[in-house]
Amino acid sequence: MLLSRTVWCALAIPLFAASPEYRQALPGYRFEFPRDHFNHPEFRTEWWYYTGNVRSRDGRRFGFELVFFRQAQRRGPGDNQSAWRVDDLYLAHLALTDISARKFHYYKRLNRAGPGIAGISFEQGRIWNGNWESKWDLSSAAQTLSAVAEEVRFTLRLTPRKPPVINGENGVSQKAEGAGKASYYVSFPLLAVEGTLNGASVAGTAWMDHEWFTHQLESFQAGWDWFSIQLNNNTEFMLFQLRHLDGSIDPYSAGTYIDGHGRATHLKRDDFRLQPLEFWISPATRARYPVRWRITIPSLQVALECAAAAPGQELAAEDAASPPYWEGAVTYAGTAAGVGYLEMTGYAGPMRL
């Protein structure tokens, strides 16, 4: 999704000493799948972001989020050969929106790899943190998500209906002026979902983002708004805008349009407009989030209204090291109808490491 998405790596700062040189995201990278669906330890930060909308057989609607993060702490030889040494930190977020009941649950966990506690393995086709897992079928790229928490348990099989998309231009998703101030950003824009959620059979669609990079948010960038859009006319969009401290929109805001055949077209800042229409004030953080938006893409004759399926989908901070953000299920109406997810950061204060 975006630079320092959720800025979870703030948790890692006290463990950084003299950091080695990590690779930068530069044009010319040769993507190789399925290998590139897994870890890239030569880059400092990496994540796998799953979001989706499903319904049970009795018509109840749910939104779900399962995210795996890796943040590099050290590279190179060292004296500590213990399985408990911290080469990477692994964070995971799990959230469920029970839209029909208007309830929102979220959980997070932070682990080191240890003796198999968390990690990413291409050989095993597996990304995991404790009993939260994404298990891959390397031949088909189907992914099975499983997670258990206090009020959430699911097993969901995600089958790609369109091939993975490389976002950005020349293989990189640029986030600011300058070489390396970018990420490698791959999306599965349309995944069919089937499985069980809290004991009920569910079906729907999901979106998966995988991003790896070293550069962090610029000092003048306060946060971002990110949209995944899955429309019933068999087209999808990813849009994001980076917001400056003064409220202006960064020119490196961008997006991707995916047509019915899975072909991707890059969208630049001037190709689309995101206009807030309605706000929700968090009782926990007092942040004022736009929960209804107007989206226009004139060149594609697209005019949509995005509305939160429920306003209170904020992952509020439980400690100073974990900044709050809003991420939740949304619906779209207008030139076409559909579902998706919306992420908003920097509304409770600038996102800073």
Residue 26's pLDDT is what?
Answer: 97
Whether the per-residue pLDDT at 134 is higher than 90: the answer is yes
Distances from the Cα of 205 to the Cαs of 53, 158, 228, 301, in angstroms? 6, 8, 12, 24
Region for 279 from its dihedrals, namely left if φ exceeds 0, alpha if ψ lies in -120 to 50, beta otherwise? beta
Over residues 22-28, the mean pLDDT reads 96
Q: How far apart are CA 145 and CA 109, in angstroms?
A: 16
Contact 65, 95 (CB under 8 A): yes
Q: How far apart are CA 139 and CA 164, in angstroms?
A: 14
Residue 6's pLDDT is what?
Answer: 46
User: Could you give the percent of the chain with pLDDT greater than 90?
Assistant: 83
CATH architecture of 5-344: Beta Barrel (2.40)
The residues spanned by each domain of the chain are 5-344
* Radius of gyration (C-alpha) of the chain in whole angstroms: 19
Q: Average pLDDT, whole number, for the chain?
A: 91
pTM of the complete model = 0.93
Q: What is the pLDDT of residues 101-124, one digit of tens each?
A: 999 999 999 999 999 999 999 999
Residue 229's pLDDT is what?
Answer: 98
pLDDT tier at 94, thresholds 50, 70, 90: very high
pLDDT tier at 80, thresholds 50, 70, 90: confident
Over residues 282-290, the mean pLDDT reads 95
Q: Is the pLDDT higher at 305 or at 13?
A: 305
Residue 352's pLDDT is what?
Answer: 61
Contact 227, 257 (CB under 8 A): no
Q: What is the pLDDT of residues 178-194, one digit of tens each?
A: 999 999 999 999 999 99
Instruction: Give the CA dihedral 173, 211, 325, 271, nearest 10 degrees.
Output: 30
Whether the per-residue pLDDT at 211 is higher than 60: the answer is yes
Residue 40's pLDDT is what?
Answer: 97
Whether the per-residue pLDDT at 132 is higher than 70: the answer is yes
